Structure 1
Amino acid sequence: MKFLLSNDDGYFAPGLAALAQALASQGDVTVVAPERDRSGSSNSLTLDRPLSLKQAASGFHYVNGTPTDCVHLAVTGMLTELPDLVVSGINHGANMGDDTIYSGTVAAATEAYLLGVPAVAISLAKHAPRHFDTAARVAQELVARIQRDPFRGAVLLNVNVPDLPYEALQGWRVTRLGRRHKAEPVIRSQNPRGETIWWVGPLGAAQDAAEDTDFWAVAHGYVSITPLQIDLTAFKQLDFMTDWLA
């Protein structure tokens, strides 16, 4: 099995190293990741300048662009064969609910999905996570299951793992995305020159954390697996808009 790995924390991130080490025993691993932390970059592509592809001493490749750039470059130009699976992560922090809109981790997996390659985004659900070994083992088990029963067509999965020892996990849950309250206000400050600067505020708390959501699963010690789709059409509004325009 051929794996393409990426992330949004940068090619030097310990979560990416843990993921690569875990999957090396299950197939051929190629890593193409951003040269620096690109968290929150969502699905952006770099169109205003060329990209460069370099290789670090670790063997990992890195790109001076976004997570989406990395996967797009690898799948459409660098690799001579399509990977069997793209895995993005292990992210330093959760990507649940509304987070998926902004997440570079999810975006890397989404780009693979749009290019017809099955993809998994995997995140360790704590701001300063410790148990990368747990998330790596979860990734191994998920890949082993895919190898036994391959996906039929392109699939996009968002996986969030509690930051716990593996033995403390309560199991796996298939979930839907929850919802957060709106984000906290931006934070006004000054730089050393006395100029006003603004920091984006912290994320809001979970608003919809019902038992079938990713928020509930992770809070109760379960690995959350959410299948995602990309069609943004508001189907329930099609008839309304048709009547409105009539």
Structure 2
Amino acid sequence: TGGLVGIGFRLTITDSFWDIETSRHTSSSGGTGLPTDQMKMQITFTDAGWDFVGETINGVEDIWFLPQQDYPRLWWEGMKVPMKLTPGALNCRSKGNWVKANLTLPQGFTVEDVDSNKPAVLHPFGFKSLPLYVSVNENGLVQIEAAFQRQAVCSLAGDWPQVLTVVGFLNDGNIFLGTSKVKIIHPGMKVINKLKWHWLNEDCDHPGFCDGVDVNRNSLVNLLDYALLMNIEVEFVTDE
């Protein structure tokens, strides 16, 4: 028997740990045994390259989070809460500065439970929000507004995920998650006709950029602009 691996044959185990106190095993065929207090410190795992929500040194996939006095947990184990993204339909060719996520905590939570010093994170890309605005809505529930730069969100055009998840933090180290499906809205014939009219035009420039169909603003309308146009407007669909 062993702490992490009972019996191993030609195994290579790295950056893995077990609790020598709760397991009552101080040896293993692989991994590193640590006392309980070190197993509940985030630095133990970030030093080993584990990717935690909110830090970017080890990546932006945001795989783990660490509640107070607990072991690391996978991000999707966080508390699911209702979320609404505004604007509900995002056209990345139009003007605007922000995409805002409004998340509502269940009954029993207070404003003080929210760690407003930590920005929310747009998963799985690691985009961080402005400082949170935390309030109580008309139903007496805690509501959190997290604003993300519109330009950052629109940088996903052409590579939209099926679902966007916004992650926020509680003061006890737990996290809450709001999700929204991404539905691509294909451009209408009016836009397609503009694209056709300016096709291979090499003189697109500020301020019009060929009626906006030179999407990447490189002064040339071509297949890349077509591909971007097919992905540049989306609707955020929230499950009721």
What range describes the TM-score normalised by the shorter chain of this pair? under 0.3
When normalised by structure 2's length, the TM-score is 0.22
